[in-house]
Amino acid sequence: MPVKKVTSVNFGGPDLDILYVTSMTKPPLPHLPGDGVLRGSLFAIRGLGVKGVPEPRFGG
């Protein structure tokens, strides 16, 4: 990953074969390195050769 502070990952897309990755947007803490202009980005990673599992919809 081009960032150090990944916050969440989730599979998505019509075939659940895209891995979406979010990163922290807050400015870096003094003792931690910053992620520069890519902080707070959403990344879509394709071609991993794996798929997610669909989750049932919440019925209320």
pTM of the full predicted structure?
0.80
Question: For residues 48 and 44, what is the distance between their CA atoms, to the nearest angstrom?
Answer: 11
Nearest to 17 by CA among 41, 47, 42, 43: 47
5-19: pLDDT as tens digits: 899 999 999 999 999
27-41: pLDDT as tens digits: 767 776 778 888 899
